[in-house]
Structure 1
Amino acid sequence: MPEEVSYGFKKVHPSEKRRLVLGHFEAIARRYDLADALLSFGLHFLWRRRAMRRLRLHIGDRVLDLCGGTGDFAVAAAKAVGSAGMVVVCDISRAMMGAGRRKAARAGVSDRIVWIQGDAERMGFARDSFDAVIVGYGIRNFVVLEQGLREMHRVLAPGGTCMAMEFSIPSTPWVRRLYQFYSFRILPWAGALITGTAAPFHYLSESIRVFPAPEQVQNLMTANGFANTSFERLSNGLAVLYSGKKRSPNIPSSTPSQPPFRNFPVSP
């Protein structure tokens, strides 16, 4: 574990970044979905649908929605895997998952989703537990990106797919300049108007700037065990979809011999 990690433009102790990120999500959980929709101008709905199409879930799949927050991906995955499948949401914020549980109830899929409060970089799930792992806007918040990638690879079953959706910097120069103005001048003000606090949105803008470029993230995925890695820029690069597979062994994979989790705190 490094002595210092990036928290936006600052360097902090790893435990401090974890504490600050958790505090941000706990503070905005109640109005997170509204802020997400308004501040992305609705684009995040299109990006999530694109991610789910690429993930290609099947009836009966076991899916991990890592950093799952308010459960947008979890609800979509629960509908895709049917009553024979299962979706596990893992997130550090109990408040975010509380909002997600209410969303799942409204969608009628509560019985297919399990909510686990946990750290993405130190998961207690058994190896090879999930057919798919999906992360929405979460890898940017990892304390150590490589450790998070290794954990995602560990819990993914052989032949399974990992997909991460993350914010990035637009490709076109004039769009990039407009985005710079919006993210540092408009976004914190609008975020505070919606949620009551600007700090999470200042961090969001800074953390996007210091996060590795898509090519670097793809290389890190390959270096940490994933095969067939790729990335796709969405909306001129405002968001990027990263994907990778866990190599299948020479013999057919079987259902994990252990349950996917044991003795975890479940969000009430």
Structure 2
Amino acid sequence: MMKDSQETTHFGFRTVDKDEKVAMVADVFHSVASKYDLMNDLMSFGIHRVWKRFTIDCSAVREGQKVLDLAGGTGDLTAKFSRLVGEKGEVVLADINDSMLKMGRSKLRDMGIVGNVNYVQANAEALPFPDNYFDCITISFGLRNVTDKDKALRSMFRVLKPGGRLLVLEFSKPVIKVLNSAYDAYSFHILPKIGEMITKDADSYRYLAESIRMHPDQETLKGMMEESGFDNVNYFNLTGGIVALHRGFKF
């Protein structure tokens, strides 16, 4: 008997039970956590740092504000936000995966960042924070791994203060045709080989390539954010649309 589409979701190109996806994604990130930063540099040729810097610049985060770095992994954005909000502000590094959270905590403490950062293991679909709490939420390369993206966006909207903003940095659809074939060749043939060499795990990086292709394109994600309550939603294509930064506000 075929399962109802409401009971299933995508794990890369595979169709799986919704209840199974969280554990399957967790296995991917448990596997790659220790080499996550190195792989980010290798597979993006270091450009991920430029994408994240642009996200910080678009966040308009100021001293004394509260920021949620959701699916924050090893804390690249958290480190920057910690300096911006200062002693009177607060940054929460949240991730559903405890291996990634431990890597982030260890890395940031080694950098001397301790006073204004808290660490929370949390599911984006049911954030354990009060209503109207954060001035800014970022989710960087994490939304595509969420099982119910609409539910997660509504959860983010709930915990944002009026006047707050959400920034979603995520792989997207290239807008330059000639880029598509080269990007596909890199994603499906070269990237898994790099993953095998560095992490001994080609499958996780094959999932990465597949999950990118299953993620909503720029206009679709914009519409999803608007349906979840966000206003003034716009997006910026980065590196020819390989990555896009979406920004929306809660009024």
Q: Same fold (TM over 0.5)?
A: yes
Count of matched residue pairs: 247
SS at match of 2:45: coil
Partner amino acid, structure 2, of 1:13: D
SS, match of residue 185 in structure 1: helix
Look up the match of 1:252. none
In structure 1, what is the equivalent of residue 200 of structure 2? 196
Give the residue type in structure 1 aligned to 2:168. A
Partner Cα separation in structure 1 for residue 243 and residue 73 of structure 2? 18
1:187 and 1:61 map into 2 onto residues whose CA distance is: 38
What is the identity, as a one-letter code, of the residue corresponding to 1:27?
S
Deviation at 1:157, TM superposition (A): 0.6
Residue 113 of structure 1 aligns with which residue? 117
Whether 1:236 aligns to 2:217 is no
Residue aligning to 2:63: 59
Structure 2 residue matching 1:121: 3-state secondary structure: helix
Offset from partner CA, 1:105-156 (integer Å, 9 cap, x none): 1322222111111111111111111010000001111101100100110111
Paired position in structure 2 for 1:92? 96
User: Per-residue CA shift, 1:53-110, capped at 9, x if unaligned?
Assistant: 0001000010001111111111111011111101011111111111111221132222
Q: Which moved more, 1:117-126 or 1:102-111?
A: 102-111
Unaligned segments of structure 1, at least 5 residues: 248-268
Cα distance in 2 between the residues matched to 1:110 and 1:104: 7
Separation (CA, whole Å) in 1 of partners of 2:55 and 2:159: 20
CA distance in 2, matches of 1:128, 1:199: 39
What percent of counterpart residues are identical? 37
Q: Residues 165-187 of structure 1, C-alpha deviation per residue, up to 9 Å, x if partnerless?
A: 00123211111110000000000
Q: TM-score, normalised by structure 2?
A: 0.96
Matches of 2:203 and 2:79, distance apart in 1? 28
The runs of 5 or more residues in structure 2 that have no matched partner are none
Separation in structure 2 between the aligned mates of residue 108 and residue 240 of structure 1, nearest angstrom: 31
Q: Name the aligned partner's letter for residue 96 of structure 2.
A: I
2:30 to 21, 26, 30: 26
Does residue 15 of the first structure (1) align with residue 34 of the second (2)? no
* Bigger mean CA deviation after superposition, 68-77 or 45-54: 68-77
- Aligned partner of 2:50 in structure 1 is 46
1:245-268 per-position Cα deviation (integer Å, ceiling 9, x unaligned)? 001xxxxxxxxxxxxxxxxxxxxx
Give the drift of 1:2: 2.3
Map of 2:78 onto structure 1: 74
2:220 corresponds to 1:184: no
In structure 2, the residue matched to 1:143 is 147
One-letter amino acid of the structure 2 residue matched with residue 242 of structure 1: H
Counterpart CA distance in 1 for 2:60 and 2:36 is 27
1:206-225 alpha-carbon deviations (Å, 9 max, x no partner)? 11111111001001100110
CA RMSD of aligned residues (A): 1.1
2:170 maps to amino acid: E
Which 10-residue stretch deviates more, 49-58 or 197-206?
Answer: 197-206
